[in-house]
Amino acid sequence: MQLILVYIRKIQYIPQEYHSLLAQIISALVFVIGLYLIARFTTWFCNKYLAKLVAKIHSAKAFDALQKHRVFTALGVVLAALAAINLHAVFIAEQTGWLATVMNKLTGLFVMLSFSWFICTNLNALNHLYGRNPNMPIKGIVQALKIIVYLITGLFILSLVLGRKPMYIITGLSALAAVFSLIFKDPILGFVASIQLTTNKMIKIGDWITVDSAGADGNIVDISLTCVRVQNFDMTIVSVPNYDLVSKPFKNWSGMFEAKARRVQRSILIDVDTVKFLDKDMLARLKKIELLQDYLAQKETEIANFNAQHNTTESLLNGRHLTNIGTFRKYAELYLASRPYVIHDDPNFTLMVRQLKQEAQGLPLEIYCFLNTTVWTQYEGYQSDIFDHLFSVLPEFGLYAYQQPSGQNIAQGIKLLNQPN
């Protein structure tokens, strides 16, 4: 009993500020321990019961994304942060001194960081679901939003630590804006370009694009904040800055796949020296071709009537006559229309064979049509079949394709010249 009395007398002689500090320490410990227990309970509750409720409402894929990126744990921490705001008013708010100041700042940091973490986990889950979705590639937007969250959180943390209002910090940082704009020039340009590419639906994951300036010719495999990754057909990976896709021309082949058709546009160079009017023997030979029978019969009647009306028998040049190149051009059109893989009955897909401007190598006869396939191997096979046939039938029309003489051709010519008569 005497020892208790002695202890009471000693406490009475302790200064009042030590009693206040001891009470603040105890209050702070109770606050921290209580907050820790609340956080453990809320995270356990969210992961065990709230997760089951979400699993029943949402799809398995969405639930897996939320669980993988710990969204339920972050939600439990946010609930604890809300509790911290109320507990702070009970245990800390009325206190003064350095310990109260430290606890105020720590509480504010915990609340801000918990909300920031919760937002970022939701953005990560959203990116997990739609970041690689061909119809909604939002990875770049998610990255931009996370940067904004980090900047705002950093601003409020700096404001809390320094004890200044956020506007005061912003005013001070505005002086460094020029420096930041130089340091982060590429991310800023990439961020703006990423928004333009996504909102305007210029590209999406899986698109085949060709960017000549970057050496990219393949399918898009990833769209991020600053660059687009393209896997070329030789399996190499090329990173193209987002800004280049906005400021420089590139070709997106997605329209071809949506139309389920691919264009053929190639020319045959005809030796101009072989172009001539059809004679009787050649006309008789060409009439045996089924594709040309109706056309030649119609043309013969039309030309005969014209020449009879205009009395053009005196000179070949006075009347109308069929030419071998014109007949071949019509034959090529009819041949293309007869192929099952060539689209010929849709006005949106042009089919024609036309002459282009004469070149030094000859007269270009261009084949312009669309094939009803976008499979690369099929497309190349069909295109090769078309030109195999057209090159093969050229001599039937008395036409020859231009080919630059090779060393062997020149040697054979010299040999012929040197032969005795």
Indicate the pTM of the whole model.
Answer: 0.58
Residue 160 pLDDT level (bands cut at 50, 70, 90): confident
What's residue 333's pLDDT? 94
Asked if 183 contacts 99 with a C-beta cutoff of 8 angstroms, the reply is no
What's residue 150's pLDDT? 82
What's residue 181's pLDDT? 67
Residue 7 clears pLDDT 70, i.e. is over it: no
Asked if 254 contacts 267 with a C-beta cutoff of 8 angstroms, the reply is no
**13-67 per-position pLDDT tens digit:** 444 444 466 666 777 787 788 778 887 888 888 887 787 777 777 777 777 777 7
**75-118 per-position pLDDT tens digit:** 888 888 888 777 766 666 565 566 667 777 787 788 888 888 88
Cα gap 221→278, rounded to integer Å: 56
Share of the chain above pLDDT 70, in %: 79
As a whole number, mean pLDDT of residues 257-270 equals 91
Beta carbons within 10 angstroms of residue 216's beta carbon: 23
Asked if 329 contacts 353 with a C-beta cutoff of 8 angstroms, the reply is yes
Share of the chain above pLDDT 90, in %: 19
Cα gap 133→220, rounded to integer Å: 12
Which residue reads 């703006």 in tokens? 192
* Listed residue (363, 303, 280, 292) closest to 333, CA to CA: 292
User: Token pair of 293, please?
Assistant: 């029978």
Q: What is the DSSP letter of 316?
A: G
As a whole number, mean pLDDT of residues 357-371 equals 91
Residue 8 clears pLDDT 60, i.e. is over it: no
* Listed residue (168, 148, 145) closest to 158, CA to CA: 168
Hey, which bits of 271-410 come out as E strands? 352-355, 363-371
Residue 70 clears pLDDT 90, i.e. is over it: no
Asked if 116 contacts 147 with a C-beta cutoff of 8 angstroms, the reply is no
* Phi then psi dihedrals of residue 277, to 5 deg: -75, 150
